[in-house]
Amino acid sequence: MSRLNPPDERKPQKQAPNEDKKARLASKLRANLQRRKAQARSRRDGEADSRPDGLVKVAGDDHKGDG
């Protein structure tokens, strides 16, 4: 008689997919952290803004806001 796969040999391994998921998430987390660090470095190394301080008066705006 031929022997079919007994149930003991065909048990699904639940731990392996969970470990794969953990490894996948850890890899994505490391990649995200590296991207964020690179962004922070580029912002820190960047030049200062050339925007003027305060508000710029629009030409023709003579309203003094007396209420």
pLDDT tens track for 10-66: 666 666 889 999 999 999 999 999 999 999 988 887 766 666 666 667 777 666 655
41 compared with 8, residue with greater pLDDT:
41
The Cα diameter of the chain in Å comes to: 103
pLDDT at 21: 94
- pTM for the structure as a whole: 0.43
Domain spans of the chain, in order of start: 16-41
Tokens representing 25 are 């998430």
- Return d(Cα 31, Cα 23) in angstroms, integer: 12
pLDDT at 47: 64
Of 36, 38, 56, nearest to 46 (Cα)? 38
pLDDT at 43: 85
Half-sphere exposure of 59 (CA within 13 A, CB side): 0
What sign does the dihedral 27-32-35-37 (CA atoms) show? negative
